[in-house]
Amino acid sequence: MANRYTLRMELPQSWSIIDVFTGQLAVVRQKVMVGMGAREAESMVVQMNIRDVKRRERAERKP
């Protein structure tokens, strides 16, 4: 299953999380995922992709 979210460097030391399916900046709890440090962004993108895979697997199982 393809990852939905990826990182994009905006400026040195400033990262954004992009929704690969839409090309838009990701939004979590009404916060745009932009201007993040590398470690925070990498951790967040991993968590978001795990949640998305689980969500899509549940959706595929529904009749």
| pTM score, whole prediction | 0.87
pLDDT at 62: 76
pLDDT at 16: 98
Per-residue pLDDT tens over the stretch 5-61 = 999 999 999 999 999 999 999 999 999 999 999 999 999 999 999 999 999 999 988
Structure tokens at 11: 């400026």
pLDDT at 63 exceeding the cut of 90:
no
Contacts of 5 (CB under 8 A, 6+ apart): 17, 18, 19, 20, 26, 45, 48, 49, 52
pLDDT at 13: 92
pLDDT at 1 exceeding the cut of 80:
no
